[in-house]
Amino acid sequence: MQLLPFPRPIQLLLAGGACLVAAGCRTYNDDIAPLVDPYSAGNFQVAAAVVHSEEFQRHYLSKSDGLLFLLEGGKVLFDAGEYDASAALFDRAAERLTEYDNAADVSISEELAASVGTQASRAYRGTDYDRILLELYQAFNELGRGDLGEALVRTRRIYRRQAEAVARNAAEIEAREEKGDAAGQAALDSENYQQFNQSLEAIKGEAYADFVNPMGTFLSALLLREEGSQADSRVDLQRLIDLRPDNRWLPDLLKEFEGSSEPTPDRLYVVFENGMAPMRWQFSLLLPTPNGITRFAVPNLKTMPRDVGHLRVQGAAGALDLVTQEIASVDSIVATEFQATLATDIWRMVVSQVAKQFVSNAVQRDDDYGLLYLFTAIYRLLSSDADLRTWRTLGAEFQIAYGQVPEDGLVKLSYPGHLATPVQVRIPPARTTILFVRNPRVSPIVPRVFSIGVRGAVRAAAKAASPPSRELDTPASLLSDLAESLDPSSTVLSRTEES
């Protein structure tokens, strides 16, 4: 059979169209839904089973979405308490990020594919907040694995990631200004875009300077104090107060850090990761280009509703009563970077759409192809969507509180104003305890306890002496390794369990 002698640009367009049809126009959000649906309901063990499935793991090899699937898998396994498996996936994600960072900023093959296909055909190379949050979760993974030193290394990497983000953003702005683009500038100057930019400002609120995530600063201050670096821990805490002067827990904590060189015994820090991070959606701009009026699909951010305001932690007979308060808004962090990089994203859309419009006009001028023009018009519409990929399993905010562990070690967790069943948790004896709760929506309260400064044998004895009837059931997959817990020479940072 002899193929019709279509010009080369049309052959490329037809090939791209065939790929779109073969893919069924599926998006990343379609592929990740089997994971996000149980996760957003708080069914972390069900979501973890999805991550362990062969079907999910095949996505790790994807050139376009592989990094995202590694990040999603690492986060879900962290929230399920599978710290070793989570750390392994995050390490693979970090390796992928390093490959992208060491490669050229622009892949010619990717840009060519995106010019005739969708923007999501490019490899997802990760945002700056992806890189920073990866290190934050890895720090908690290291606490779960019993390694305070490595957890501190991860908090130091957070600062390095922030410095890299500042340099990268400055370079992108400079490159964009040097390149220039009339159509792209028209998109940025349009009334619709300016209105949209105002909505981003509302999400950002009081943005944090220089890509800082205050939750990383908070964890760094705590761990430095545990490690004995008192001066550095106070510097971090003062920096944190400058970032979040509205947080009521921080001033007294700084006074405590300044007044004593040793961590307060039986201290309880509460970390509450609440809500779901923003999703992307798109709206259209109609702008004049050299080829006529062209539709541009522009990405936008949509914050997700938060069904729970705070976490309350109480002891018996008023011995303890804490209500968490926000320390870091991930919504604001995401919106700040989204706004900073949006101009580059729009320029890419301009290049892609102008190229498709050019081919479409070339087809229209040639009557020999008949219905081919209709096909190209439909193809342009189907392939004009913006890139809507984001790390979906992130929380919308981090909140904190702190106090003293009650003498009986029992605390009750609840969501004020909600019917979610309160949970009672026994805090094992330790110098310092971090109680971590993840709530995507109004989810079952599933706490995890990170104990610092207790030897395994002491902790094992404390567990044996505690009355089991009032403890939260602990999944077998999250129990500490008995052999390590009975070793009196084990690390001063004990393994973490879900209590």
User: Which of 7-16, 76-85, 176-185 has the lowest average pLDDT?
Assistant: 7-16
What pLDDT is attached to residue 484?
Answer: 37
Q: When comparing pLDDT for 366 and 152, which is higher?
A: 152
What pLDDT is attached to residue 368?
Answer: 53
Residue 399's beta-bridge partner residues?
A: 272, 326
Distance from C-alpha of 274 to C-alpha of 309, rounded to nearest angstrom: 8
Torsion sign (Cα): 154, 220, 452, 70: negative
User: Which of 169-183, 197-211, 257-271, 326-340 has the lowest average pLDDT?
Assistant: 169-183
Question: Tell me, what amino acid is at 486?
Answer: L
Distance of CA 15 to the CA centre of its chain: 35
Q: Are 342 and 193 in contact (CB under 8 A)?
A: no
Residue 451's beta-bridge partner residues?
A: 433
What pLDDT is attached to residue 471?
Answer: 35
Give the best-scoring range by mean pLDDT among 104-108, 129-133, 492-496. 129-133
Distance from C-alpha of 426 to C-alpha of 443, rounded to nearest angstrom: 20
Distance from C-alpha of 269 to C-alpha of 39, rounded to nearest angstrom: 25
Among residues of the chain, what percentage have pLDDT more than 70? 65
Q: Which tokens go with 424?
A: 């009672």
What pLDDT is attached to residue 466?
Answer: 35
Determine the average pLDDT of the residues in 350-377: 54
Q: Are 409 and 429 in contact (CB under 8 A)?
A: yes
Determine the average pLDDT of the residues in 105-132: 70
Among residues of the chain, what percentage have pLDDT more than 90? 50
Residue 270's beta-bridge partner residues?
A: 401, 435
Q: Which tokens go with 302?
A: 């949509």
pLDDT at 340 over 90: no
Structure confidence at residue 469 as a pLDDT band (50, 70, 90) = very low
Determine the average pLDDT of the residues in 434-439: 97
Mean pLDDT across the chain, nearest whole number? 78
Q: When comparing pLDDT for 343 and 362, which is higher?
A: 343
What pLDDT is attached to residue 465?
Answer: 35
What pLDDT is attached to residue 125?
Answer: 93
Q: Which among 97, 167, 170, 103 is positioned nearest to 133, based on CA atoms?
A: 97
Q: Which among 450, 350, 355 is positioned nearest to 147, based on CA atoms?
A: 450
Which residue's entry shows tokens 């009837």?
469
SS (H, E, C) 177-234: HHHCCHHHHHHHHCHHHHHHHHHHHHHHCCCCHHHCCHHHHHHHHHHHHHHCCHHHHH
User: Which of 27-36, 50-59, 76-85, 481-490 has the lowest average pLDDT?
Assistant: 481-490
What pLDDT is attached to residue 309?
Answer: 94
The H or E element containing residue 397 is strand 397-404
User: Which of 200-209, 306-315, 362-371 has the lowest average pLDDT?
Assistant: 362-371
Q: Kindly report the backbone phi and psi dihedral angles of residue 179, in degrees, each rounded to the nearest multiple of 5, phi listed first.
A: -70, -50
Q: Which among 496, 401, 390 is positioned nearest to 139, based on CA atoms?
A: 496
pLDDT at 224 over 60: yes
Q: Are 155 and 173 in contact (CB under 8 A)?
A: no
Determine the average pLDDT of the residues in 442-453: 92
pLDDT digits (tens, 9 = 90+) for 402-423: 999 999 999 999 999 888 899 9
Give the best-scoring range by mean pLDDT among 61-75, 179-193, 461-475. 61-75
Determine the average pLDDT of the residues in 469-486: 34
Q: Which among 430, 400, 425 is positioned nearest to 411, based on CA atoms?
A: 425
The H or E element containing residue 436 is strand 432-439
What pLDDT is attached to residue 438?
Answer: 97
Structure confidence at residue 462 as a pLDDT band (50, 70, 90) = very low
What pLDDT is attached to residue 384?
Answer: 63
CA dihedral 77, 79, 81, 82 (to 10 degrees): 10
Tell me the HSE value of 217 on the side-chain side, using a 13 A CA sphere.
21
pLDDT digits (tens, 9 = 90+) for 265-288: 999 999 999 999 999 888 776 666
Q: Which tokens go with 331?
A: 């919504």
Q: Are 393 and 75 in contact (CB under 8 A)?
A: yes
Q: Which among 464, 476, 356 is positioned nearest to 45, based on CA atoms?
A: 476
Q: When comparing pLDDT for 197 and 250, which is higher?
A: 250
Distance from C-alpha of 90 to C-alpha of 266, rounded to nearest angstrom: 32
Q: Are 178 and 138 in contact (CB under 8 A)?
A: no
Determine the average pLDDT of the residues in 138-164: 94
pLDDT at 461 over 60: no
What pLDDT is attached to residue 55?
Answer: 96
Q: Are 83 and 496 in contact (CB under 8 A)?
A: yes
Burial 35-66 (b: 16+ CB within 10 A, else e): bbebbbebbbbbbbebbeeeebeebbebebbb
What pLDDT is attached to residue 232?
Answer: 95
pLDDT at 7 over 90: no
What pLDDT is attached to residue 46?
Answer: 97
DSSP string, 235-271: HHHHHHHHH-TT-TTHHHHHHHHHH-SSPPTTEEEEE
pLDDT at 362 over 60: no
pLDDT at 40 over 50: yes
Q: Strand 321-323 to strand 325-329: parallel, antiparallel, or no bridges (unpaired)?
A: unpaired
- The CA distances from residue 240 to 131, 217, 223, 235, 244, in Å, are 20, 6, 14, 9, 6
Q: Are 38 and 50 in contact (CB under 8 A)?
A: yes
What pLDDT is attached to residue 450?
Answer: 96
What pLDDT is attached to residue 43?
Answer: 96
Give the best-scoring range by mean pLDDT among 102-106, 209-213, 431-435, 451-455. 431-435
User: Which of 104-118, 415-429, 441-455, 458-472 has the lowest average pLDDT?
Assistant: 458-472
